[in-house]
Amino acid sequence: MATITPAQGELQVRTFQRSPLSRARGHLGGLWGRPITQAIAKALLTIYVTSTITFGLIRLMPGSPVEIKIDELMQGSGMSYADAAAQASGLFDINLNAPIHEQYFEYLGNLAHGNLGSSFLSRGTSVMSIILSVLPWTLFAVGTGLLLSFVLGIALGLVAAYRRNSLLDHAVSTAGSIISSVPGYLIALLIILIFGIQLRWIPITQMRGAFTSGITPGFTPQFLGDILFHASLPITVFFLTHIGLWILSMRSATLAALEEDHVTVARARGLTDGRITTAYVGRNAVLPLVSQFAIAAGAVVGGAVIIEQIFVYQGVGLRLVASVNQRDYPLMQGIILMTTVCVIIANLAADLLYSKLDPRIGRAGGAGGK
């Protein structure tokens, strides 16, 4: 049969699909074209709104730090309003004489240049440099902990799904469920309490801080080993806090993937179990988890605050608490913004990863038949 009927030659025209995250983010503004443009626009908008909120918090609210500072100065040193305002102005790096909207635009302008102001306490140091000096430590600890928990969690979730309702499955699922329900800082306290104090297995006093002073920083094994030593407890806590999530998510994703028709067809095709597990079940199950990972990475930066406090780990969280106690408002403001930027970058990465990994997203299809 040489001729082809029209039905066979249907062109498959795919309507343009967006990744689930992008779709869920709504149809702001309507037609925009490529999702990456939309995502970046969303990101900028979020940064803008966040900075406005912090501006509002610091400047506009009743009882705002600026006003309080002025009051403080007036009452403490008996200054006049004008003098107090002038001093506050210098401290906050805001021109208090200019009308509000000008202050706002100046603030935004500074932001656009990456100028987050100067810290109250150390008057020459820019907020940006302070943050940049502590952020890497947090990212290192959080990143390592999350990565380890992801890898191990996925493996355990897969096994649990394959051995559904076995003892292993029940044990792993219950353990995962329990651990993920307990707040991270409680786990941290428990670790110190039980393993550090009661059992004396862990030398916690030696583990304070991000690294032992005295060892010169560099890419030497000695220094790297030292960093790992100091970061091990925070990493362990991040690991434990998240592993439950990965185990349970992967388990349910795998169970769903196992039900898929193409797995049955793959078995009918005589494919080996190994190949089916990796390329047919595994790849499909892990897909949504990858973007979940990216999102978790962004979110955990916030939760790291207390963990760092407990372990006295000099990351951005510890700095935030210190800045709060010291009323260092520019630093507080800067930390909010920078951590939000981290979350935004993580979310963008999640979107990107998902659209790269799932061929069903964003590809204009159309293999015409012959």
Contacting other proteins (CB under 8 A), which of 344, 350, 354, 355? 344
In 3D space, the residue among 112, 267, 247 whose CA is nearest the CA of residue 174 turns out to be: 247
State yes or no: residue 215 binds other proteins (CB under 8 A).
Answer: no
Nearest distance from residue 272's CB to other proteins, in Å?
6
Instruction: For residue 12, give the amino acid letter.
Output: Q
Beta strands in 227-367 (DSSP E): none
Contacting other proteins (CB under 8 A), which of 148, 324, 349, 353? 324
- Residue 49, judged by CB atoms within 10 A of its CB (0-12, 13-18, 19+), counts as exposed
Take residue 155 and report the two structure tokens written for it.
């493996």
- Crossing angle for the helix pair 221-259 and 167-181, to the nearest 10 degrees: 120
336 neighbors 277 (Cβ within 8 angstroms):
no
C-beta of 224 vs 321, nearer to other proteins:
321
d(C-alpha 74, C-alpha 59), whole Å: 18
C-beta of 90 vs 368, nearer to other proteins:
368
State yes or no: residue 169 binds other proteins (CB under 8 A).
Answer: no
d(C-alpha 286, C-alpha 278), whole Å: 10
State yes or no: residue 144 binds other proteins (CB under 8 A).
Answer: no
Size of the site for other proteins (CB under 8 A): 92
Nearest distance from residue 143's CB to other proteins, in Å?
16
C-beta of 28 vs 215, nearer to other proteins:
28
The region of 49-57, 113-121, 126-134, 141-149 touching other proteins under the rule CB under 8 A is 49-57
Torsion sign over Cα 283, 256, 349, 132: negative
253 neighbors 285 (Cβ within 8 angstroms):
yes
C-beta of 156 vs 310, nearer to other proteins:
310
Query: Tokens 């799904």 belong to which residue?
Result: 161
> Which residues, 270 to 299, sit near other proteins by CB under 8 A?
270-272, 275, 279-280, 283-284, 287, 298-299
> Which residues, 2 to 41, sit near other proteins by CB under 8 A?
4-8, 10, 12, 14, 24-29
Site string for other proteins, 178-207 (x = CB under 8 A): x--xxx-xx--xx-xx---xx---------
C-beta of 197 vs 224, nearer to other proteins:
197
Nearest distance from residue 219's CB to other proteins, in Å?
30
How distant, in Å, are the alpha carbons of 43, 112, 216, 362 from that of 16?
22, 34, 54, 6
